[in-house]
Each structure stands twice: as C-alpha cells, then as structure tokens.
Amino acid sequence: MQGASRDSLAALREQLPTDGELTELSEQLYAVVSLLTVQASLRRALSDPASAEATKVGVVDSLFGSRLNDAALELVREAARRRWSQPRDLLDSLETLAVDAALAAAEGAGDLDSVEDELFRFERILDAEPELRAALTNRNYPAEAKQQMLHRLLDGKVNAVTFNLLERAVLEPRGRTIERALRDLSSLAAQRRERLIAHVTSAVELTEDEQRDLIAALGRAFSHDVRLQVVVDPSIVGGLTVRIGDEIIDASVARQLDEARRKLTGKSGSRA
C-alpha cells in the first residue's frame, strides 16, 4: 500500500476506538468487507477520487446506516471520505481495522500473547498436514464444511479471537494464500506491542541463552523489539534461517552446501 492509501489507513487506525464493544466492532467491519468484496462497483464508487465526499458518505449511510453501530458507521464514513490509490486499498484498510479491533479486544483481556502463539501454531499445523491445508484452501469445498473442520480442530483449544481471525482467513482469503494471511495477522498482532515477529527455523532446539542472544542481535539489526517463533527442522543440517516480514536471513548449512555445489558445478562446466 503506497502514497495516499498508506496515509489514509494510518489516519483511520488513529480513529479506531480503544475500548467498548471491540468484538462487535470487528464483526461489523468484517461484514462491510464481505459485502465490498463481492460488490466491485460499490467498492469503486466509495473509493472514487472524482466523487464528492458528501456523495460517498450518503452511499454509506443509505447502505449501512441501520446495520452498523455508531463506531463502525463512523469508521466506514471516514474511509469513504479518504483518498485511495486503488479501490482494493479501501477494502484492505477496512479489513485491517477489523483485525485491529479484534486484537485490541484480546489485548484488553490480557490474551494477546496467546493469540499470537495460536496463530503461529496453526501455521505450523498446516505446514505439517498438507491434506488439511488442501481442504481448507480448496475453492470448491463448501464454506460450511470448512467451518466444521475448524471447529473440530480448534474448539476448546484456542481463544475466541484466534478462532474468529482464522475463520475469516480461511473463508475469505481475498486472493491471498493462507500462509500470507496468517503472516499478516501475526504482523498486526506484533504491531500492537511495537515489536517484530522473527520466524526462526533451526536445526536443533535453541537454548534460552541462544534465544536471548538472537533476540538482542536482531533487535540491534532492525532497531526494534523482536519476538521469536522457533521451529526445529533438522533438514537444514545446521545453523538457522530467520524470516521477518518479507526479509529472509539464511545462515543454514543446507544453503551453504547448495551454494558450494552450484559453484563446483559451474567450475566443472567451464572446464568441459
């Protein structure tokens, strides 16, 4: 998200309530996102820079005035007043607000760390069970069946906020892979604590001292507080890989061996 859209999202997030019925607010914003996802003409109308603000706010009021509470309605009105680089940015921003509201509810209940951990564990489950991932991401699989699968897998095991976020990620991916959607959720959760999530893959379990050293090193490198989410994968042979957002630091032995193999292959090829 660039330019005007980035500024508009920042302004909207500043206006998001910090208390009150945050779970209801999240659900109502998600409902608006669901409607705009299937109504492309409405999405374009509300993000059209050539249309007068009053006209766009009037459209919001006519569609949602009786369906949304005051907080949700005002946020959608303000979103219609703002400038957007492209119509999708309006949709993405409303979804971000919905996630923010859900996470704020978890934070208020003291459950934000649990939600972060549960999102990460679900990503690992999907990585370990490709058949489950295939079922949950199959566009031809009924939504009701996917919901039932999530309930069987997660009921009584995760926070209600976590379940609602995962359900949305599965049922309304909006063109994203499930992994991308989960990373986006984790990133938004980390932002509430003004910290970065470092996804670490190590060949062996890291000791507490090693984890502290790694947190300190990454904190210096990124000038930010860092939280680790560690996965043990012996296939990388030794060393570790770190992913923070879209940036990957690969210090694994497997990578070094691959590079050495490529160099040897290149040299042998040049002699032939």
Q: For 127-170, what is each residue's pLDDT tens digit? A: 889 999 999 999 999 999 999 999 999 999 999 999 999 999 99
* Residue 97: per-residue pLDDT: 97
Please check the confidence at residue 269 and state whether its pLDDT lies above 70: no
**Nearest-angstrom CA–CA distance, 241 and 203:** 9
pLDDT, mean over the chain:
89
| pLDDT mean over 241-261 | 79
**Nearest-angstrom CA–CA distance, 75 and 72:** 5
**Nearest-angstrom CA–CA distance, 116 and 205:** 20
* Residue 267: per-residue pLDDT: 55
CA 121 and chain centroid, separation: 14
Backbone angles phi, psi at 21, to 5 degrees: -80, 75
**pTM reported for the whole predicted model:** 0.76
| pLDDT mean over 232-245 | 84
Helix (H) or strand (E) holding 198: strand 195-202
Residues whose CB falls within 8 Å of the CB of residue 184, separated by 6 or more in sequence, listed in order:
176
Give me the residue label for tokens 């003004």. Answer: 194
Q: How far is CA 141 from CA 122, 130, 153, 175, in A?
A: 20, 15, 17, 16
